[in-house]
Chain A
């Protein structure tokens, strides 16, 4: 993406953050499935947290792997 030599791509950083968010939001969504909160959001039966968490997880994995730092000579 960028010609600064050896620089990690911004998409890798994005991937790592989305991966972490995916894990957190998916876990929170699954927890809500089994332990529904007293005050539920509208359409909570869709379990948006689970699906969105999975989406973030998939995007995070893709970006983290696709743009992972490459080993360069001398490193």
Chain B
């Protein structure tokens, strides 16, 4: 969309070629300045080489960073264990950008290709948001409400626990464990998540609890 060029009043400020306000945000008299013919701004303003404000069009001046006015939430990159700091920009309950956090003493604002792509990870078109269920010997996925899935999983855990419970070994030593359930977790989980897992599994008697660290 191209805006109609309209010549505004030739003020001192317009001749200086400066853009009032900061960060490209359009405020105040911008319209009138950019309405001025670029060559006039170049000739009469602060930017005689036309490398900056004199060359800027009305449309460009109108652009704002997508992070403009966004709330910054402090985060950490989810990929490798360098632990780069991330600034997550949120507007209207939506993440609009993820950038390196310059405050981090480890990463000093940098991110690698993976860290830089973490917004695409969150927004990936392949991400799914509903539970899917495949019944034994089934040939297709079925829908299953989350509540129902949670109930079914709790039942499966208790059933397998009952069926595979080992109270003692052959020599009469205490085992008190359930050998029919195993767990393999990634190592991009939070400490708090790992803690609840280990706590719950241990109480259930599940000992085959493992994660990526071993692999």
Q: Do the two chains belong together in a single complex? A: no
